[in-house]
């Protein structure tokens, strides 16, 4: 799409020095920077809009936001998915007010303009009032996004006509994503429903917390961990055998002990299920990934999706102004799981990472205060420290991405803000550098990566 | 016939006796006071061993949509807990490291519209009520949670214990950062 603002004063690099390891706090509070984020990041990124399992049948729809743009996501009769603005081209009113459902058409409440599930204008109330030549129906459908793509169940859309394909956007991060999306035959689904809350904090605090901040977990969540596991403290972190991996601004921090996040969920039956499954997972994804899955880990997909592999919360941080976001949360499970295990996972997620969860309760308060203190003009010009582990980058034979040793690290956060800067300053998305050069180019499945099973 | 009465069943319209209605209304007020005072030991003492405490997440759907958002227990829920699970949540407060509970949140639970009905079981009563729960913390954080409840209370040794509670919160998007409260 045409972006009038792009190219104007691309000087966002003054807000950070990632080689030194600091950020300027204004990126978490300034209204002008937030407005530029909507144009430069949210109107140009591949954004998560749905999981395929939420739209099993033709006519199934859900409503969501891409940045602050309201969109409808629908399953077409031919099985494809379309995404278009939830806004009538006549006066702009919303045409759908439900969170989800099944329909044959969307009719605007204002003047009765009716659209099929492909978003095409089919007719309107008192159509005779339009003379010949007044309206071209073909040009007055609901505004479609530029591209829709999916990766192993996750559906993404972008308003950008040009720029990287979804595969290139995700890049080598697919190697990590497959631990969540493809650890068992049949893939994943979201449990029914969606629980939403409002947090008066900048959206990036949620993303960066999940992308790399294992460091906060043992302190912020001491009470959560002890409550779910009979008083036991947070599992110990092995700084030698745990990592940060960053790819194109996405990030996954993880141990290799295999059980930490499963332990934090506090549901022994779920732990047993995965322990039994682990040899199969090793056959499917290789030994390394079967050891990573279930470990203390957290991850984010640039720009605003996060999840905890093993704990199974899946979430999106929807921006609502510089100092507020809406948190949408789901529970992600393997389709092949027996129903009682799905129920165990769902209960576990809601008891840990629902709004009333023993972990979630302590996060919101932190992020709100990290944000709202920046109302102070002196405070907002102070720098924030992002230097932890800055010297620990390694080359790793198996792990793709920009890899740092030790999961207590700010490396993935620095990787995220590097991509934020790339997007904020890019006039041509195609020219954005891959970070780093991909290993998976030309490989259809991440399990086909040479050498994966040799280790 | 030994099954506990359900919260799904529509109202029987069979009002309980004045004495039972009064006793259960007072029980609801006592429960609210204990929650206001963070007297969770006192609250747990009012809960039955076979408790089911359920607060479903409810999406906005068109009227024609027949999705069961209330009684389908496989769907996401703020609470879908038995007594042990409620105790687990509460044990967070005993750790001394529940940072967002210190300074304490200030709560007021207002309970109204109480109706008490007999059920098929002589010792169990269905109680409808509305609630307004107000929270205020730190400098100016505040929010209001409003909704309906349907409970089953069981008489046991001269007092009443909560066996089932279904809470219908009126929010679609919960207009708050967390839910450090019981309703």
3-class DSSP state for residue B25?
A: helix
SS3 string, chain A, reads: CCCCCCCCCCCHHHHEECCCCEEEHHHHCCHHHHHHHHHHHHCCCCEEEEEHHHCCCCCEEEEEEECCEEEEEEECCCCCEEEEECCCCCCCCCCCCCCEEECCEEECCCCCCEEECCCCEEECCCHHHCCCCCCCHHHCCCCECCEEEEECCEEEEECCCCCCCHHHHHCCHHHHHHHHHCCCCCCEEECCCCEEEEECCCHHHHHHHHHHEHHHHHHHCHHHHHHHCCCCCCCCCCCCCCEEEEECCEEEEECCCCCHHHHHHCCHHHHHHHHHHHHHHHHHHCHHHHHHCCCCEEEEECCCEEECCCCCEEEEEEECCCCCEEEEEEEEEECCCCHHHHHHHHHHHHHHHCCCCCCHHHHHHHHHHHHHHHHCCCHHHCEEECCCCCCCEECCCCCCCEEEECCECCHHHHHHHHHHHHHHHCCCHHHCCCCCCCCCCCCCCHHHCCCCCCC
CA distance A174 to A195: 27
Per-residue pLDDT reduced to its tens digit, A316-335: 999 999 999 999 999 999 99
pTM of the model: 0.96
Which of the four pLDDT bands, split at 50, 70 and 90, describes residue B11?
low
Q: Given CB atoms, is B71 within the 8 Å cutoff of chain A? A: no
Distance of CA A403 to the CA centre of its chain: 20
Quote the Cα angle for A297-A300-A303, to 5°.
Answer: 170
Q: Given CB atoms, is B172 within the 8 Å cutoff of chain A? A: yes
Per-residue pLDDT reduced to its tens digit, B54-93: 999 999 999 999 999 999 999 999 999 999 999 999 999 9
What pLDDT does residue A455 have? Answer: 45
What CATH class is the domain B18-169?
alpha beta
Each residue's pLDDT, cut to its tens digit, for chain A (455 residues) gives 445 565 555 689 999 999 999 999 999 999 999 999 999 999 999 999 999 999 999 999 999 999 999 999 999 999 999 999 999 999 999 999 999 999 999 999 999 999 999 999 999 999 999 999 999 999 999 999 999 999 999 999 999 999 999 999 999 999 999 999 999 999 999 999 999 999 999 999 999 999 999 999 999 999 999 999 999 999 889 999 999 999 999 999 999 999 999 999 999 999 999 999 999 999 999 999 999 999 999 999 999 999 999 999 999 999 999 999 999 999 999 999 999 999 999 999 999 999 999 999 999 999 999 999 999 999 999 999 999 999 999 999 999 999 999 999 999 999 999 999 999 999 999 999 999 999 998 888 898 887 766 54
Inter-chain touch B176–A355, beta carbons under 8 Å: yes
- CA–CA min distance A11, chain B (Å): 34
Q: Note whether A393 and A404 are within 8 A (CB).
A: yes
What pLDDT does residue A159 have? Answer: 98
When scoring B99, B101, B137, B176 by the number of chain A Cβ atoms within 10 A, the one with the most, hence best to mutate, is B99
Inter-chain touch B174–A197, beta carbons under 8 Å: yes
CB atoms within 10 A of CB B104: 8
Inter-chain touch B95–A364, beta carbons under 8 Å: no
Inter-chain touch A196–B174, beta carbons under 8 Å: yes
Instruction: Give every CB contact of residue B59 below 8 A, 6+ residues apart in sequence.
Output: A98, A99, A100, A193, A194, B69, B172
- CA–CA min distance A206, chain B (Å): 12
Q: Given CB atoms, is B3 within the 8 Å cutoff of chain A? A: no
For chain A, the straight-line distance linking the first and the last C-alpha, in angstroms and rounded, comes to 45
Matching residue, tokens 């904020």: A424
Query: By CA distance, what is A201's nearest residue in B?
Result: B177
Inter-chain touch A227–B76, beta carbons under 8 Å: no
Inter-chain touch A355–B80, beta carbons under 8 Å: no
- CA–CA min distance B129, chain A (Å): 22
CA distance B9 to B30: 26
- CA–CA min distance B178, chain A (Å): 5
């Amino acid at each position: 799409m045409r972006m009038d603002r792009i190219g104007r004063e691309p000087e966002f690099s003054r807000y950070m020095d990632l080689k030194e390891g600091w950020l300027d706090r204004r990126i978490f509070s300034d209204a002008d920077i937030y407005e530029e984020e909507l144009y430069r990041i949210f109107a140009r990124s591949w954004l998560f809009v749905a999981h395929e399992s939420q739209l099993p049948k033709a006519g199934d729809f859900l409503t969501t936001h891409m940045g602050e743009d309201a969109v409808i996501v629908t399953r077409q009769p031919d099985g494809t998915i379309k995404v278009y603005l939830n806004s009538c081209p006549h006066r702009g009113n919303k045409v759908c007010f439900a969170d989800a459902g099944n329909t044959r058409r969307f009719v605007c409440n204002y003047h009765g303009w009716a659209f099929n599930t492909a978003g095409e204008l089919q007719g309107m109330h008192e159509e005779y009032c339009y003379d010949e030549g007044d309206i071209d129906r073909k040009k007055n459908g609901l505004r479609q996004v530029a591209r829709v793509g999916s990766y192993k169940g996750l559906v993404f859309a972008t308003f950008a006509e040009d720029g990287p394909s979804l595969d290139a956007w995700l890049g080598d991060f697919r190697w990590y994503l497959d631990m969540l999306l493809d650890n068992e035959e049949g893939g994943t689904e979201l449990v029914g429903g969606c629980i939403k809350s409002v947090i008066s904090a900048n959206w990036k605090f949620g993303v960066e917390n999940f992308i790399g901040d294992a460091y906060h977990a043992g302190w912020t969540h001491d009470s959560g961990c002890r409550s779910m596991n009979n008083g036991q403290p947070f599992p110990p972190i092995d700084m030698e055998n745990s990592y940060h991996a960053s790819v194109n601004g996405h990030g996954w921090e993880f141990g290799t002990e295999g059980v930490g996040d499963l332990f934090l969920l506090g549901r022994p039956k779920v732990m047993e299920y995965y322990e039994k499954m682990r040899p199969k997972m090793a056959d499917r994804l290789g030994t390394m990934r079967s050891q990573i899955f279930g470990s203390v880990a957290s991850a984010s997909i640039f720009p605003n999706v996060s999840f905890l592999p093993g704990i199974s919360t899946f979430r999106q941080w929807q921006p609502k102004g510089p100092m507020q976001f809406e948190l949408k949360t789901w529970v992600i499970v393997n389709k092949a799981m027996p129903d009682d295990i799905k129920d165990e996972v769902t209960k576990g997620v809601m008891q840990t990472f629902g709004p009333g969860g023993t972990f979630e309760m302590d996060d919101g308060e932190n992020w709100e205060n990290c944000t709202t203190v920046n109302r102070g003009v002196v405070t907002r010009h102070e720098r924030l420290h992002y230097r932890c582990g800055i010297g620990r980058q390694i080359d790793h034979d198996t792990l793709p991405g920009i890899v740092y040793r030790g999961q207590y690290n700010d490396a993935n956060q620095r990787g995220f803000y590097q991509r934020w800067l790339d997007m904020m300053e890019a006039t041509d998305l195609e020219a954005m550098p891959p970070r780093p050069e991909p290993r998976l180019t030309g490989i259809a499945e991440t399990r086909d990566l040479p050498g994966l099973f040799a280790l | 016939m030994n099954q506990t009465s359900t919260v799904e069943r529509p109202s029987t319209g069979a009002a309980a006796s004045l004495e039972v209605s009064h006793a259960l209304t007072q029980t609801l007020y006592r429960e609210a006071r204990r929650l206001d005072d963070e007297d969770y030991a006192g609250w747990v003492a009012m809960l039955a061993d076979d408790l089911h405490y359920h607060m479903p997440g409810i999406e906005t759907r068109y009227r024609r949509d027949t999705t069961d958002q209330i009684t389908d227990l496989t769907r996401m829920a703020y609470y879908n807990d038995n007594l042990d699970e409620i105790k687990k949540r509460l044990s967070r407060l005993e750790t001394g490291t529940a940072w967002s509970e210190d300074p304490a949140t200030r709560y007021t639970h207002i309970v109204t519209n109480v109706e008490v009905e007999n059920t098929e079981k002589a010792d169990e009563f269905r109680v409808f009520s509305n609630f307004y729960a107000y929270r205020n913390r730190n400098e100016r954080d505040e929010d209001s949670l409003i909704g309906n409840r349907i409970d089953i209370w069981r008489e046991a040794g001269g007092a009443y214990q909560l066996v089932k509670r279904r809470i219908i919160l009126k929010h679609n998007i919960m207009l708050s950062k967390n839910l450090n409260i019981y309703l």
